[in-house]
A and B are shown apart, each in its own frame.
Chain A
Amino acid sequence: MQAFIALSRRPGGTFAMLAVTLLCLVAIAAPLIAPYAPNAIAPANRLMEPSWQHLLGTDHLGRDILSRLIYGARVALGISLSVIAISLSTGVALGIAAALSPRAIDLAVVGVFDIVTSFPSIILALALVAVFGPGLGNVVLLVSIVFIPHFGRVARAQTIAIRNSPFIEAEKVLGAETWRVVLHHVTPNIIGPIFVLACMDIPVVITIEAGLSFLGLGVRPPLASWGNLLNDGYTYLDQSVWLATFSGLALVLATLGFALLGEALRDTLDPKLRKAL
C-alpha cells in the first residue's frame, strides 16, 4: 500500500499505474468486456468507421477492432510477461553466478552474453524462430534467449559493485553460506534496476512479437495480436486509418505505461531515496 502511494506521488506514476492496471484488467476480463467475438468475420461490415455499433470501427474482414485489441492485450501481455519472467530469472541467476565465480567462468559467461547481444534482437529472434519453427511456445522461449543477456549483464555488474562491500563481508564473517548471501543480501540489493529494466523491456518484447507476427513467424492469424493488427492496418492504410491508429495507440499506451512504471518503481524501491518518515 505504501509503495502504491509512493508510486502515485511520482510524476507520471499515476498515469503509469492506471495504464498498466487497465491493460491487465482488459487482458484478464477480455471475454467479459469484448463486445464481439474477436474472430467473427462480417464481410458486409468491412473497414467501417467508428460508430456506436463498432466503437473503434472494423477491419478488412469486418471484425470488430475494439474486440480484437482487447484480445490482443491478452496475447501481448501474456507473451511479454512470460518472456520477461524466463529471461529475468535465468539472466539474474547467470549474472550473479558469473560475478561470484572464478575469472575464467565469468569471462566465458560474459563472452556468451556478448555474442548474443551483438545481434540486433529482432534479427536474432527471427533467425532462432526460423530454425526452430514458429508457434506461441517457441516464440516465448526463443525471445527469452534474446533477453537473457540484458538481465544477466546488469545483474553481473551490480553484483560486482557490491560483492566486496562491507555488508556482504559482514555476512561472510558471521559464517553465512553463499546461498544465503546471494538470496538475502545480493539479490535484494541488485533487483531494483533489474525491475526497472524489466518494465522497460516489456514494450520491446511486445514489439518483437509484433514483428515476428508480421512476418508470419510469431502468433499465427487469426489469433489477434497487436502485431497482426498493426500489419493489417498498414496493409489497408489507404482505405481506412482506424485500425493502424488504434493498434498503434494501444502499443503507445503499453510502452509509456510500463516505461513510466519502471522509473517510478526504481525510485520507490531505493529506500535511500524514500522520504524520511
Chain B
Amino acid sequence: MAHPVLTLDNAVVRYDRLTAVDNISLELRRGETLGLIGESGCGKSSIARAIVGLQPLAEGTLAVEGETLKDASRQRRLILQRRIQLLFQDPVASLSPRLTVRALLSEPLKIRNAFTAENWGRIVALAESIGLGEQLLSRYPHQLSGGQARRVALIRVLAAEPSIIVADEPTAGLDISVQGDLLNLLRALKDHLGLSYLLISHNLNVIGRVADRVAVMYLGRIVESGPTAALFRGPAHPYTQALLSANLTLDPSRRHERIVLSGELPSPAHPPAGCRFHSRCPLVQPKCATEAPALRTDEDGRAVACHFPLAARPAVIPQAIAG
C-alpha cells in the first residue's frame, strides 16, 4: 500500500510547561480531506503549526510520503516541509503589508528559484481564472477584500507546489455565498492538482460538506475519528454528540434537543485525570475519573476513546450532510 501523504505519529506540542497537543497520531491519505474539529483551545491550531514546521514537535514524528522529517538531511527536510503549506486564518495578516499583490505572488517562485517568465505567466493565469484580474496586482493587502486576500494567499500557497494544504478556518469571516465559492474552489483544486487537505474548523457545516474523514479533538487529544457521514450520523463519543447537537440548523424541524455541557473547558495546563472529558461528560461513570481510555479503531475505520461509547444510532444529522 502506498504511504499516506502525511503521517503524524505520537506528536506532542508543548509551550513551556503547557502541553497543547498530547500524543496525537494522524494519517492523511492522498487526495483526502481530513477535518479536524473541536472547541477553541483544544489544540487544533497547535497541530497545524507543528505540521507546517512553525512549532517544533516536543515528541513524536512527522512524515511526508513515508519520509520522516527528523531523519532527513537539512536540505531534504526543507523540501519536504515545503510540500506542506498553510492557509492562515486571517488572510490579510498573512500577507506582507508593504508588498503589492504582484510582489506577493512572485515571492514563492523566487524562494524556490523558479521565477521564470513561464512560471509567472502560469501564476497570473491562475489568478485570472479565480477572479484576481490584472488591476488587482498593484494593490496592497489592506486594499483587498477578505475574499480577495484569501485567494491571493491561496495562490501563494499553490505556487509553492504543495502536496498537502493545511487550512486553518478557511471560511472564517466570509459570508455564506463566498464560503461556498471558496469551498468549491478548494475542491476543484484538490481534484485538479492531486492535493490533500487538513481542514481545521469549528464550523461543522463546512466540515460536513467537504471532509472525507473527521477527527474530533478535546483538550489536546483525539477523542473520536472516522468517515464524516458515519461519524455525524452516529457519534460514538459523548463529546462528539454534544458538539454536533450544538450546531445551528436553519430548518426548525431538524432541530434536536441540544446537549449543554456543564462547566468550562478545563485548562490544558492541568488536564483532569483519567478521561479528560469526564469532568463535563453527561454519562460519566466512576471508571472514567481514574482510567484514561485508549483510542480504539474498529474495522469500519472509526476510532473512539471512550469506556462507554454510544451505540450507533441516527441522532444528530447536520443539515449539510442530510440535505
Interface residues of A (CB under 8 A from B): 165-167, 169-177, 180, 184-185, 188-189, 271-272, 276-277
B160 proximal to A (CB < 8 A): yes
Inter-subunit contact B107/A171 (CB<8 Å): yes
Q: Is the CB of B98 within 8 A of A170?
A: no
**Contact A184 B108, beta carbon cutoff 8 Å:** no
Cβ contact within 8 Å between B54 and A175: no
Pick from A174, A175, A189: contact of B97, CB under 8 Å: A189
Complex contact B98–A172 (CB within 8 A): no
| Residue B243 lies at the interface, judged by CB distance under 8 Å to chain A | no
Q: Is B307 an interface residue (CB 8 A)?
A: no
Given contacts A175-B81, A271-B140, is CB(A180)–CB(B111) below 8 Å? yes
State the Cβ distance, A275 to closest chain B Cβ, in Å.
12
B140 nearest in chain A by CB position:
A271
Given A169, A177, A188, A277, which contacts B98 in the complex, CB threshold below 8 Å? A188
Q: Using Cβ atoms and an 8 Å threshold, which residues of chain A touch B140?
A: 271
- 13 residue pairs bridging A and B, Cβ less than 8 Å apart: A166-B88, A166-B90, A167-B94, A169-B94, A170-B95, A173-B52, A174-B107, A174-B157, A174-B160, A184-B96, A185-B96, A189-B96, A271-B140
B297 within 8 A of A: no
CA–CA, A172 to B98, complex, Å? Answer: 17
Please state if A170 and B153 are interface contacts (CB–CB under 8 Å): yes
Which of A170, A176, A188 contacts B86 (CB under 8 A)? A170
Shortest CB distance B66–A (Å): 21
Residues in B whose Cβ lies below 8 Å from that of A185 = 96, 99
Residues of B within 8 A of A174 (CB): 82, 85, 107-108, 111, 156-157, 160
- Evaluate contact between A271 and B90: CB separation under 8 angstroms: no
Q: Which residues of A contact B85 (CB under 8 A)?
A: 173-174
Q: Per-position contact with A for B134-167: 1 when CB-CB < 8 Å, else 0?
A: 0000001011000000000100110010000000
Structural contact, B95 and A272, CB atoms closer than 8 A? no
Given A170-B88, A272-B142, check contact A175 B111 (CB 8 Å). Answer: yes
Closest A residue to B139 by beta carbon equals A277
- Considering the complex, give the chain A residue whose CB is closest to the CB of B156: A174
Kindly list the 6 A-B residue pairs having the minimum CB-CB distance in the complex, ordered from nearest.
A166-B94, A175-B82, A170-B94, A166-B93, A188-B98, A167-B96
Interface of A is mostly: helix
Q: Which of A172, A173, A184, A276 has the most CB of B within 10 A?
A: A173
Known: A167-B94, A167-B96, A172-B54. 4 other contacts (CB 8 A): A169-B88, A169-B94, A170-B94, A173-B54
Chain A CB within 10 Å — which of B78, B86, B94, B98 has the most? B98
Chain B residue with minimal CB distance to A271?
A: B140
Residues of B within 8 A of A175 (CB): 78, 81-82, 111-112, 160
Taking the nearest CB of chain B, how far is it from the CB of A178, in angstroms?
12
**Chain A residues near B99 (CB-CB < 8 A):** 184-185, 188
In the bound assembly, the distance between CA atoms of A277 and B190 in angstroms comes to 37
Q: CB-nearest residue of chain B relative to A189?
A: B98
CA–CA, A165 to B93, complex, Å? 8
Q: Give Cα distance in the complex from A189 to B157, angstroms.
A: 22
Closest to B160 in A: A174
How far apart are the CA atoms of A170 and B49 in the complex, in Å?
Answer: 11
- In the docked arrangement, what's the CA distance between A166 and B93, Å? 6
Is the beta-carbon distance between B93 and A271 smaller than 8 angstroms? Answer: no
Find B142's partner among A169, A188, A271 (CB 8 Å cutoff).
Answer: A271
Interface centre among A170, A177, A277 (most CB of B within 10 A): A170
**A25–B160 CA distance with the chains assembled, in angstroms:** 49
Please give me the residue from chain B that is nearest to A272 by CB atom.
B142
Contact call A173/B96, Cβ cutoff below 8 A: no
B60 close to A (CB within 8 Å): no
Q: Which residues of B contact A171 (CB under 8 A)?
A: 96, 107, 111
Q: Is B53 at the interface (CB under 8 A from chain A)?
A: yes
Residues of A within 8 A of B78 (CB): 175
Closest to A167 in B: B96
Q: A165-B93, A271-B97 are in contact. Are A173 and B86 (CB under 8 A)?
A: yes
Smallest CB gap from B112: residue in A? A175
- Cα distance, A189 to B93, chains bound together (Å): 13
In the complex, the chain B residue whose C-beta lies closest to that of A165 is: B93
Within the assembled complex, what's the spacing in Å between the Cα atoms of A23 and B98?
A: 31
